[in-house]
Structure 1
Amino acid sequence: MVLNGKKLQVAQLLLVVMPAFVLFGYNQSGVGGLLSLRNFAETFPEMDTVTTEGAEKSHKKTIQGTVVAMFTIGALLGAFSCSWFGDKLGRRKMIFLAGILTLIGEILQCSSFHIAQFIVGRFILGWGVGQLSATVPVWQSECSGTKNRGAHTVLDGCFISLGYLLESWINLGFFEINFGPVQWRIPLVFPIFVSIMLMSCVFLIPESPRWLCRKGRGEQARANLARFRGLAQDDPLVATEIGGIELALEETGHSAASMKDIFTMGKDKLFYRFMLCILLQLLQQMCGSNLISVYATILFQDSLGMSPELSRVLTGACLTWKFLSCFVAFFTIDRFGRRILFIISGFGMASCMMSLAICTSFPDTNTGAMGAAAFFIFAFNFFVPIGFLGCNFLYCTEVAPMRLRVPMASISTANHWLWNFVVVMITPVAVNTIGYRYFIVYAVISATIVPLVYFFYPETMGRSLEELEMLFAESPSIMSIVRESKRKPAEGGLVTQHLREKIGKDDDDDDEVEYKV
């Protein structure tokens, strides 16, 4: 492919990023809508909650939650494995390997006749998706320019929602067919074609220039960066950006040389940056996002007392609304910044969860309360993608240091999958036992997002990854980092200023600056 500039970035988004995160969303929620199908229950009687009652149903709901959650256990380990292999293999090879694993898992899953094979397929599939979720956002942020890095990476959330949307409508379509195993096997076949597309296209896009610089392949890094920016290789802007990358590598090389340094503060405040990522990914899961996405059909059917068909229609509509809501973040993240989106999202989710708890506390015969509960599920799906369906992955790649970007992103993403497992595992049991009180837990956690982000999370908008590196290194305290981040980035950027100082040129003579690398 001989594409440059915006065309190359669009190709990266459509050919690699979109299939990677459609696999994320589709496979994560792909089983939730199948659990109440009679043929599925007959094929896997260990998970049959359709024809059982009482204690037996409660026991099988626990097994159901465990089987569904095997995907997230695999994703947790897959994301964590990137800590060792991500920087060795490079971004593209890691994505290709993940694509192979998703393909194997999907084939095992859709061809299962026994629960053991289904569990193994879920686990392998999750492993591949975990690797994708840890690697693709890093690759995107390292290839994107400062002005559009937020919009490009927040599209991950749009594509996750697209996966949810496709899963819900495909499940509804085959539910109407009502022809035995076709109802659930064909929906599980669909992502196979997405995995093949991902594997076929990933090597058509250039490797990350920042990864190439770290591996000492400067000329190839310069060529790839020029293609992503749509400029000639000898353009001063390309030379400046490559120089900034190499400068950041030089200045942080000693303090961020090994993974164990993540757990120390030091000049670069690595532990603080690590905790920003860990806490953000924890909040993303414990706000209740996947509670709604994975178990929407069950919530409408069991908690709100709606018919199976209406529950699936509302789930499809709800996830379609979530997909459309993702574009709020796309158009605002590089205009208003990351902090304000996190705060608005947290406040909105807390309000909706509390309202949902109040509405579901009434008996399911109260149609007005149940209608209001359905409304707040839709409202919740409006607020989630504003800050916590793509922006969280972006932020973790922005605050991580260059030499530890993949390990830090992979560990924080593994933490994301750990809490995803907790939510998916306990939800069927919790909804069946404590009912509306379960939503209060998520309301309280979502409410903590507002003060945490306001006091501890610096703004990353408008700064290159290398400028952010210097912001953390040069600020004397955590509060000063947050305070300094709210100011408009210096004209020309910190990296350009540092390059000029190292080269010894006059800052005022912009027309005659010679950029050395």
Structure 2
Amino acid sequence: MAETNTTGSPSYLGLKGQPLLYAVTLCCSVSFLLFGYDLGFMGGLTTNTEFLNQFGNPNSTLLGFLVSAYEVGAMFGALAQFAVGDYFGGRKNNNIIGISTLIVGAAIQTSSFSQGQFIAGRIVAGLGLGVVTTVIPIWLSECTVPKSRGRMMAMQLSTMILGLIIANWLDYGMAEHHTGSIQWRLPCGFQIVFAIFVLALIPWLPESPRYLASAGKNEEAEYALAALRGGFPETPEIAYEFKEIKYAIAVESEDVGGWSDIFHDNGISGFTRVAIAFSANFFQQMSGVNVMSSLGPYVFENSIGMSSHNAMLVSGGLQVWYFLSSLVPWYAVDKFGRRKLFLTGSIGMFSCMTLSAIFVGVNTKGTGYAAAAVLYIFHSFFTLGWQSNMWVYPSELLPLRLRLRGGALSVVSQWMFTFVVVEITPVMIDNIGYKSYIVFAIFNLCTLPLVYFCYPETSRQPLEVIDLLFADKEDGTRPTIFEVVKNSTNPEFARSIEEQLKENSRLRDENENIIDETKAEAMHLEKDPALQV
């Protein structure tokens, strides 16, 4: 909730500037911690005797669906954001709706006694998470400053892995030290704790200034932006940034016809940008990372041949390694740029999946442990290239008018293919064994030419500058995606675009002031008694 301190400077919760950005990041991070927890806690339950007995010892296909029903719900939650998300009054309100829905689903899962009830709870909770994972990256990217946008997202994704760690070790602890259905009911219900924290914090934080400006709430937008930047609306740097935001909105309102521009290139290259965002989510999931996140104990036990106890331990250790690896992008994601990290991550993940196929195929005790070690290394490359990097990329790439709908479609891709991977992995392991890893290796290899030729660089650029990369050239023609990529990697071109944005914003602001002064003068003349006939 907004407030004004003794100096008149805008603030929320008594915070402004970087501390306020950290508060927004904290709220987003706990939401993503919940995301990680919900992905991870089912992994331990897939080998939990109490859980399996409660639901009739399902075969590998049904067990896969008990896990992946969550992804089905999340996919429809993201689709709901595509269809109606713009009508619920901003990023904060949508997140509150998503978290509240998730709590209902968690309660249904915790109280389940039948497969149908548990699956229903998974789907309802997934609906909520689909909303949250659509809105949170957009809200964070629209609040942060360009130079630290990637780092803030990296922090958020590290907490997602922290959620995986909590889930894995809670599963392990409950299985080792408790008996009865509490072994699995407590992990199901524990997700509500994180959800309540988010619901308690989010009303006191600022709405996205870009959303407020696009909704015509300019005074609220200026206030929120000033609080997030630690100054006043009239502070020159803040005033310039707000002018740039208004300029980008004005340009889009002239060129964009509506949501259907997602499927066309007219105006702002809508379809091209949505397709790239969709592909980034697709390739992240087809890398194979969620095989280990959602089914780690199952993979270590059934693919590599570990005992149930050792599989739980090694899976829990993997999540700790995953978290430590995720700290590297805090430094790297804004320093090296999106494209280099995408490419580096894909090369590393391809190599690791190839080695895993070889080690599992040889099938000795020594190569089994070597395969487990390589899967640890795989997660290091994933966090470097395709974790925080991917989650921030669609929000940077998409234009404001299409950011929620386009982001929703890209998250649909995320959950659709998470479902596919989690659903088919147990069946793949049972039927084709080591060849499962070859499938994921091929997908990682395919990302290399796509990223190199079709993914523009967006790191450290204002969101409005990225819009201008896709704008018509001086001769009136629209640049191809290959030209956009080339220009985005040229520092001089990027600087010229930023200067163009500042100049256009200044000219538009001056024209608006002239128009306002003319209107005011006209109204004054109309009211002047001396001029009345």
Band of TM-score, shorter chain? over 0.9
For the Cα contact (< 8 Å) 1:86–1:94, is it kept in 2? yes
Partner of 1:76: 75
Partner of 2:65: 66
1:354-409 residue CA offsets vs partner (Å, 9 max, x unmatched):
0000000023xx11111110111101111111122222121101111111100000
Partner of 1:379: 377
1:160-193 residue CA offsets vs partner (Å, 9 max, x unmatched):
2111111111111112114121221112221111
Residue type at the aligned position of 2:432: I
Residue type at the aligned position of 1:490: R
For the Cα contact (< 8 Å) 2:101–2:127, is it kept in 1? yes
For the Cα contact (< 8 Å) 2:37–2:166, is it kept in 1? yes
Residue type at the aligned position of 2:25: L
Going from structure 1 to structure 2, the CA distance change for 1:504 and 1:112 (only over 3 Å counts) comes to closer
Partner of 1:487: 490
Going from structure 1 to structure 2, the CA distance change for 1:216 and 1:432 (only over 3 Å counts) comes to same
For the Cα contact (< 8 Å) 2:47–2:297, is it kept in 1? no
Shift of 1:461: 1.2
For the Cα contact (< 8 Å) 2:243–2:509, is it kept in 1? no
For the Cα contact (< 8 Å) 1:171–1:183, is it kept in 2? yes
Going from structure 1 to structure 2, the CA distance change for 1:497 and 1:462 (only over 3 Å counts) comes to farther
Partner of 2:25: 13
CA distance in 1, matches of 2:147, 2:499: 12
For the Cα contact (< 8 Å) 1:257–1:403, is it kept in 2? no
Q: The residue matched to 1:461 in structure 2 has which SS?
A: coil
Of 298-307 and 419-428, deviating more is 298-307
The residue correspondences of 1:187-266 to structure 2 (distance < 5 A) are 187-266=187-266
The residue correspondences of 1:364-513 to structure 2 (distance < 5 A) are 366-475=364-473, 476-488=479-491, 489-490=494-495, 493-502=499-508
For the Cα contact (< 8 Å) 2:134–2:411, is it kept in 1? yes
Residue type at the aligned position of 1:218: N
Going from structure 1 to structure 2, the CA distance change for 1:503 and 1:138 (only over 3 Å counts) comes to closer
Shift of 1:254: 3.3
Partner of 1:317: 317
Residue type at the aligned position of 1:487: N
Shift of 1:320: 0.8
Q: Structure 2: any 5+ residue segments left out of the alignment?
A: 1-12, 474-478, 518-533
For the Cα contact (< 8 Å) 1:347–1:449, is it kept in 2? no
Of 115-124 and 77-86, deviating more is 77-86
Shift of 1:140: 0.5
1:30-59 residue CA offsets vs partner (Å, 9 max, x unmatched):
112112211112211152xxxxxxxxxxxx
Identity of aligned residues (%): 33
CA distance in 1, matches of 2:214, 2:254: 14
Shift of 1:502: 4.0
1:182 paired with 2:194, answer: no
CA distance in 2, matches of 1:84, 1:397: 18
1:89-134 residue CA offsets vs partner (Å, 9 max, x unmatched):
2111111111111111111111111111111110011111110000
CA distance in 1, matches of 2:157, 2:86: 24
For the Cα contact (< 8 Å) 2:338–2:458, is it kept in 1? yes
Going from structure 1 to structure 2, the CA distance change for 1:236 and 1:28 (only over 3 Å counts) comes to same
Partner of 2:87: 88
CA distance in 2, matches of 1:303, 1:7: 46
Match among 27, 41, 47 for residue 36 of structure 1: 47
For the Cα contact (< 8 Å) 1:75–1:129, is it kept in 2? yes
Partner of 1:131: 131
Residue type at the aligned position of 1:61: S
Task: Count the aligned residue pairs.
Answer: 493
For the Cα contact (< 8 Å) 1:329–1:341, is it kept in 2? no
CA distance in 2, matches of 1:178, 1:221: 52
Going from structure 1 to structure 2, the CA distance change for 1:504 and 1:12 (only over 3 Å counts) comes to closer
Shift of 1:67: 1.6
Residue type at the aligned position of 1:66: F
Q: The residue matched to 2:254 in structure 1 has which SS?
A: coil
For the Cα contact (< 8 Å) 1:213–1:246, is it kept in 2? yes
CA distance in 1, matches of 2:433, 2:264: 42
CA distance in 2, matches of 1:504, 1:471: 24
Partner of 1:510: none
Shift of 1:267: 4.2
CA distance in 2, matches of 1:119, 1:13: 32
For the Cα contact (< 8 Å) 1:75–1:127, is it kept in 2? yes
CA distance in 2, matches of 1:483, 1:254: 27
Shift of 1:281: 0.7
For the Cα contact (< 8 Å) 1:156–1:389, is it kept in 2? no
For the Cα contact (< 8 Å) 2:29–2:157, is it kept in 1? no
CA distance in 2, matches of 1:46, 1:299: 18
Shift of 1:471: 1.0
Partner of 1:362: 362
Shift of 1:296: 1.0
Shift of 1:262: 1.1
Shift of 1:504: 6.9
Q: The residue matched to 1:206 in structure 2 has which SS?
A: coil
CA distance in 1, matches of 2:411, 2:156: 14
CA distance in 1, matches of 2:257, 2:21: 31
Partner of 1:102: 102
Q: Structure 1: any 5+ residue segments left out of the alignment?
A: 48-59, 506-513
CA distance in 2, matches of 1:212, 1:500: 21
| Higher radius of gyration, 1 or 2 | 2
RMSD: 1.7
CA distance in 2, matches of 1:501, 1:153: 34
CA distance in 2, matches of 1:422, 1:446: 16
